[in-house]
Amino acid sequence: MFNKETFKKSVKDNVKTLYRRTLEEATPQQVFQAVSYAVKDVIIDDWLATQKTYEQEDPKTVYYMSMEFLMGRALGNNLLNLMAYDQVREALEELGFDLNAIEDQEPDPALGNGGLGRLAACFLDSLATLGYSAYGCGIRYRYGMFKQKIENGYQIEVPDQWLKDGYPFELRRPEYAKEVKFGGYVRVEMEPNGKMKFIQENYQSVLAIPFDMPIVGYNNHVVNTLRIWDAEAINNFQLDKFDKGEYHQAVEQENLAKTIVEVLYPNDNHYAGKELRLKQQYFFISASVQAAIEKYKKKHSDIHKFYEKVTFQLNDTHPTVAIAELMRILMDEEGLEWDEAWEITTKTCAYTNHTIMAEALEKWPIELFSKLLPRIYQIIEEINRRFIMEIQQKYPGNQEKIKKMAIIYDGQVKMAHLAIASGYSVNGVAKLHTEILKNQELKDFYEMMPWKFNNKTNGITQRRFLLHGNQPLASWVTDHIGKEWITDLPQISRLKVYADDEKAQQEFMNIKYQNKLRLAKYIYEHNGIEVDPRSIFDVQVKRLHEYKRQLLNILHVMYLYNQIKEHPDMEFYPRTFIFGAKAAAGYRRAKLTIKLINAVADVVNNDTSIGGKIKVVFIEDYRVSNAEMIFAAADVSEQISTASKEASGTSNMKFMLNGAITLGTMDGANVEIVEEVGEENAFIFGLRSDEVIQYEKNGGYYPMDIFNNDQDIRKVLMQLINGTYANGDMEMFRDIYDSLLNTKSSERADTYFILKDFKPYAEAHRQVEAAYRDEKRWAKMAILNTASCGKFTSDRTIQQYVDEIWHLDKVQIVTEG
Ligand code: 26Y
């Protein structure tokens, strides 16, 4: 149990032992470290108790395999889940410190890109809170997602040195190290009993060292583990190798270990085919699968029943080599026959698909794959051979099917096909997404194996994104309906009775105003821009990608600005357009879009003639920690992806939870958000997914018609190439102009239907403005959004994974005191 005085003493002692200083002499970072070690001390007891309970009760365990875990800061969240936040705040006050300021000292662990990585983090929070035995398995990247600096309007990537002061919430576990082998060749030996034995030889090895991070459940003493793997050279440089002529191999092994976990690939939804990425994948998967089997064997003698106690969830195709690695260990090390190993593997592995865009699909060239992972490749070849036989049996003589469905085809290993053929479950992440998978992208697979396909609409944890991120609103909600929403979000619908209550409306909007003030202050401090907290805060924060259409948003801002300049007396409710987005380092058009946003901001923000009616803000280095504050302050949530392209989206849910109103297309989970809150409490516009798909089948549409017929749009587009936002430089934004209209390039003009949706988007914005002018109407809509978000808790999502895919056993932790 938590004790304030013991805690204070522990903080003081930690500063002394860690830094040989008194609290008064310690730097803020040192205080953060000392506080965090004191918190870790409290966590450790529950961590031990949890692991002991798991040992005794032996529940089925899910291993959530993911290249990405976008955790965000741990200190505040851990304190809330431990129910110790207020006491620690008081304790620190008594010591002369402000908990918020100490929380701000924590690096923001960003071992992920965007939605997929953050989903993994929300899932871990829900698994622990619901009392399920779970491991997160990932990579301990030395450098996580880069820090973004904006210089002269351009994005600059700066390395994220999140480990430079040491990370207090991790625990190194060298006793669980595993060897991972790359390259070489496979020698086949015949055993006396006539069995074939496959031996990898002349390989390079890396030692995988696990670091464990505690995942604290809310108010239940459950502490699960996120296990991320670091790489070390297997035997420190051996001089004698020099004499044996193995000098090169020794150096290479050393280098491999150093580079393998060096950095997270900053690509989101875009496959680049880099060999190092495949090394990363096999590295953490081999170590994780070995660890899972070792743990299972400690308690169980019959490996055939592995799947009764263990399940692997593959977060997209990135961890899909787990299928072949499990087969390898079961056959080559446990001595099982193919059929036995196959039964276990196909009952253990399940796959989540997060995208339907072709450019995000992982396909490895055979050459590269078989050289790096010779034994794994053999196994995949055999899986492929048998799978093709199955296809032939089901569709005799149908070569088309084989061409479309084979795992290995055209010189490539197709990871999605491997995952679907070998797993017991394939799920999409929102209703619409799953339907598109079944009826379009994965149609052939669905027809052959319909029972594998299911939907699990994404969710988010209300504990980080309301309880921690928006404490004033969290308290208000609790004051009105009690605190059950913290672990049972659908309870939040009990706020609906307050939607028309004037006092409640005022309180709700006043909290929003306070949060807007907080964000305005942050913007002033970081951007030097003064924004009016009474203006509409219209926010789009997410990775920068063409399909997410930040370009549509900023083109519309350019249009509004033209309108105000042309009609200075027109009615206009002041608006603050807030953007936050990182672009993949090599994604030129995305980076140019950031420049455009900043260029428009420069012109508009400094034009005194418009009397501050529009402000444009690009928030530098959008990440989990500032996201929490941004959601809390938003009035309007921009969710404007081209319909059919956004698998789910999850920021849409975080905005809704915080009382922002969705301005969006009928895409991803927006569809379900509208279903929950009602169409009258959202602003929906644009092409529907079936319309987009239809256009695509017909080779697109003619944006030039729109350009020719609409002078407002034409004016905005011309401003891209007449230097309006580029100090007279007519070339700076030409690529963007070309992408929308051009017929000369190989890509289709306006692939993402920006011009097609432009006018409907502008109309939706006019409706937003009208609704906002009516204060009561807006307050009601805002309350109803918060009150209707119950479905979008990751607790619900996880419960569905448990009930319909994993079938885990629930556990209760009994503690003394
Ligand atoms: C192959 C590779 C470079 C790659 C790396 C990262 C491919 C994809 C990704 C990340 C994908 C991602 O974040 N997808 C998002 O997953 C969210 C959680 O399911 C969805 O809400 C969101 O719509 C989807 O874009």
Span 282-327, pLDDT tens digits: 999 999 999 999 999 999 999 999 999 999 999 999 999 999 999 9
**What mean pLDDT do residues 185-199 have?**
94
- Cα 114 to ligand 1 centroid, rounded to whole Å: 7
Give the Cα separation of 13 and 719 in Å (integer): 62
Contact 199, 28 (CB under 8 A): no
In this predicted structure, the answer to whether residue 239 has a pLDDT above a threshold of 60 is no
Smallest CA separation from ligand 1 atom 2, residue: 271
CA separation for the pair 555, 677 (Å, rounded): 29
> What is the spatial distance between Cα 605 and Cα 575, in angstroms, rounded to a whole number?
11
CB 648 within 8 Å of CB 667: no
Give catalytic status of residue 542 as yes or no.
yes
The gap between the terminal CA atoms of the chain, to the nearest Å, is 7
| 419/564 same-domain check | no
Look at residue 250 in the predicted model and tell me its pLDDT: 81
pLDDT at 691: 98
Query: Is residue 719 a part of any domain in this protein?
Result: no
Distance from the alpha carbon of residue 768 to the mean position of ligand 1, in angstroms: 30
For ligand 1, whether the C-beta of 458 sits within 6 Å is yes
| The pair of three-digit structure tokens given for residue 147, joined into one six-digit string | 């820090």
Confidence of residue 124 (pLDDT cuts 50, 70, 90): very high
Helix (H) or strand (E) holding 505: helix 502-527
pTM passes above 0.90: yes
Angle, CA of 360, 363 and 367, to the nearest 5°: 150
Burial 702-739 (b: 16+ CB within 10 A, else e): ebeebbeeeeebeebbebbbeebbbeeeeebbeebbbb
Q: What are phi and psi of 146, to 5 degrees?
A: -60, 155
Do 659 and 772 sit in the same domain of this protein?
yes
Q: Do 407 and 488 lie in a common domain?
A: no
What is the spatial distance between Cα 673 and Cα 313, in angstroms, rounded to a whole number?
26
Note whether 407 and 417 are within 8 A (CB).
yes
d(CA 719, CA 589): 17
Domain that holds residue 322: 58-73+108-423
Are both 410 and 501 inside the same structural domain?
no
What is the atom index within ligand 1 of the atom nearest the CA of 118?
18
Summarize pLDDT for 584-635 with one digit per residue, the tens: 999 999 999 999 999 999 999 999 999 999 999 999 999 999 999 999 999 9
List Cβ neighbours of 501 (8 Å cut-off, separation of 6 or more). none
- According to the model, what pLDDT value does residue 743 have? 64
**Is residue 475 included in any domain, yes or no?**
no
Residue 660, pLDDT above cutoff 70: yes
Q: What is the mean pLDDT of residues 774-779?
A: 98
What phi and psi, each to the nearest 5 degrees, are found at residue 187?
-100, 135
Q: Are residues 264 and 193 in the same domain?
A: yes
Is pLDDT of 373 > 70?
Answer: yes
Rounded distance between C-alpha atoms, residue 635 and residue 661, angstroms: 6
312 and 398 both lie in a single domain: yes
Which residue, of 423, 450, 470, is where some domain finishes? 423
Nearest CA to ligand 1 atom 21: 649
492 lines ligand 1 (CB under 6 A): no
The per-residue pLDDT for range 221-230, each reduced to its tens digit, is 999 999 999 9
Cα angle for residues 428, 433, 436 (degrees, 5° grid): 110
C-alpha to C-alpha distance for 679 and 279, rounded to whole angstroms: 47
Q: Is residue 461 part of a domain?
A: no
With helix as H, strand as E and coil as C, how does 127-146 read? HHHHCECEEEEEECCCECCC
Instruction: Tally the domains of the chain.
Output: 2
Domain assignment of residue 98, yes or no: no
Single-letter residue type at 631: F
Q: Scanning the structure block, which residue is given the tokens 């991070």?
A: 213
CB 355 within 8 A of CB 647: yes
Q: Is the pLDDT of residue 574 over 80?
A: yes
Q: Is the CB of 119 under 6 A from ligand 1?
A: yes
Structure tokens, 700: 């697109």
Query: How far away, in angstroms, is 360 Cα from ligand 1 center?
Result: 8
Q: Give the list of residues 6+ apart from residue 9 with CB closer than 8 angstroms, or none.
A: none
Phi/psi at 137 (nearest 5 deg)? Answer: -120, 125
Tokens matching residue 369: 């794959």
Q: How far apart are CA 448 and CA 430, in angstroms?
A: 22
* Nearest atom of ligand 1 to the alpha carbon of 117: 13
Q: Is 401 a catalytic residue?
A: no
Model confidence band, residue 245 (pLDDT cutoffs 50, 70, 90) = low
Taking a C-beta distance cutoff of 8 angstroms, is the pair 423, 323 a contact?
yes
Catalytic residue, chosen from 654, 765, 780, 796, is 654
706: nearest Cα among 747, 744, 641, 762:
762
Burial of residue 359 (CB within 10 Å: 0-12, 13-18, 19+) is: exposed
How do strand 349-352 and strand 425-428 relate by DSSP bridges? parallel
Neighbour-count burial for 533-551, b at 16+ CB within 10 Å, e otherwise: bebbbbbbbbbbbbbbbbb
Q: Give yes or no: residues 412 and 486 share one domain.
A: no
51-109 pLDDT tens trace = 999 999 999 999 999 999 999 999 999 999 999 999 999 999 999 999 999 999 999 99
Rounded to the nearest angstrom, the gap between the alpha carbon of residue 734 and the centroid of all alpha carbons in its chain is 32
Provide the pLDDT confidence category of residue 3 given band limits of 50, 70 and 90.
Answer: very high
At 337, give phi and psi (nearest 5°). -75, 160
Give 575's DSSP letter: E
Which of the listed residues 116, 434, 797 should we mutate to test ligand 1's pocket, taking the one with most ligand atoms within 8 A of CB? 116
Specify the range with the lowest mean pLDDT, choosing from 353-357, 505-509, 790-794: 353-357
Q: What is the pLDDT of residue 172?
A: 98
**C-alpha 117 to ligand 1 mean position (Å):** 8
Q: Provide the pLDDT confidence category of residue 237 given band limits of 50, 70 and 90.
A: low
What pLDDT score was predicted for residue 218? 98
Nearest atom (ligand 1) to Cα of 272: 3
Q: Residue 231 belongs to what H/E stretch?
A: strand 223-233
Nearest residue to 356 (alpha-carbon basis) of 414, 264, 281, 429:
429
Domain shared by 394 and 512, yes or no: no
Q: Are residues 387 and 519 in the same domain?
A: no
pLDDT at position 271 over 60:
yes
In a domain, 474, yes or no: no
Q: Which tens digit of pLDDT belongs to each residue from 327-345?
A: 999 999 999 999 999 999 9
On whether residue 525 sits in a domain, the answer given is yes
> Could you tell me if 263 and 351 lie in one domain?
yes
Residue 112, ligand 1, Cβ within 6 A: no
Beta pairing partners, 638: 663
Q: Residues 631-654: what's their mean pLDDT? A: 98
Contact present, 467 and 486 (Cβ < 8 Å): yes
Distance 669 CA to ligand 1 centre (A): 14
Which CATH number covers residue 664? 3.40.50.2000
| Ligand 1 binding pocket includes 225 (Cβ within 6 Å) | no
Q: How confident is the model at residue 356, as a pLDDT?
A: 87
238: pLDDT strictly greater than 60 = no
Q: How would DSSP label each residue in 241-299?
A: HHHTT-HHHHHHHHHHHHHHTSB----SS-----HHHHHHHHHHHHHHHHHHHHHHHHH
Task: Please indicate whether residue 354 is annotated as part of the active site.
Answer: yes
CA 726 to ligand 1 center in whole angstroms = 33
Is there a catalytic annotation at residue 221? no
Per-position b or e across 648-673, b if 16+ CB within 10 A of its CB: bbbbbbbbbbbbbbbbbbbbbbbbbb
CB 102 within 8 A of CB 190: no
d(CA 472, CA 470): 6
Q: Looking at 545, 548, 582, 791, which residue is catalytic?
A: 548
| pLDDT per position as a tens digit, 662-713 | 999 999 999 999 999 999 999 999 999 999 999 999 999 999 999 999 999 9
Q: What is the mean pLDDT of the chain?
A: 97
Return d(Cα 484, Cα 487) in angstroms, integer: 6
Closest residue by Cα to atom 4, ligand 1, is 269
**Cα-based distances in Å from 221 to 213, 214, 543:** 15, 12, 35
CA 270 to ligand 1: nearest atom: 3
Q: Is residue 431 flagged as an active site residue?
A: no
Between the CA of 436 and the centroid of ligand 1 the distance, in Å, is: 16
597 part of a folded domain: yes
Out of 354, 595, 615, 796, pick the active-site residue: 354
Beta carbons of 734 and 721 less than 8 angstroms apart: yes
- Identify whether residues 370 and 490 lie together within a single domain: no
382 and 273 within one domain: yes
* Ligand 1 binding pocket includes 357 (Cβ within 6 Å): no
Ligand 1 atom 7: residue of nearest CA: 269
Q: Is 172 a catalytic residue?
A: no
Q: Is residue 658 situated within a structural domain?
A: yes
Indicate if the pLDDT at residue 817 is higher than 90.
no
Q: For position 760, what pLDDT does the model report?
A: 98
pLDDT digits (tens, 9 = 90+) for 448-467: 999 999 999 999 999 999 99
Question: Is 319 touching ligand 1 by the criterion CB < 6 Å?
Answer: no
Task: Record the tokens describing residue 775, joined without a space.
Answer: 């204060």
Closest by CA position to 13, among listed 51, 529, 484, 33: 33
d(CA 328, CA 318): 18
Kindly tell me if the per-residue pLDDT of 241 is higher than 60. no
Sequence-separated contacts (24+) of 607-610 with Cβ below 8 Å: 607/561, 609/565, 609/568, 610/561, 610/564, 610/565, 610/568
**pLDDT for residue 247:** 78
What is the distance between the alpha carbons of residues 478 and 688, in angstroms, rounded to a whole number? 38
Collect all residues with Cβ–Cβ distance below 8 Å to 641 and sequence separation of at least 6. Answer: 547, 548, 549, 649, 664, 665, 667, 668
Q: What is the mean pLDDT of residues 790-801?
A: 99
User: In whole angstroms, what is the distance from residue 765 CA to residue 777 CA?
Assistant: 16
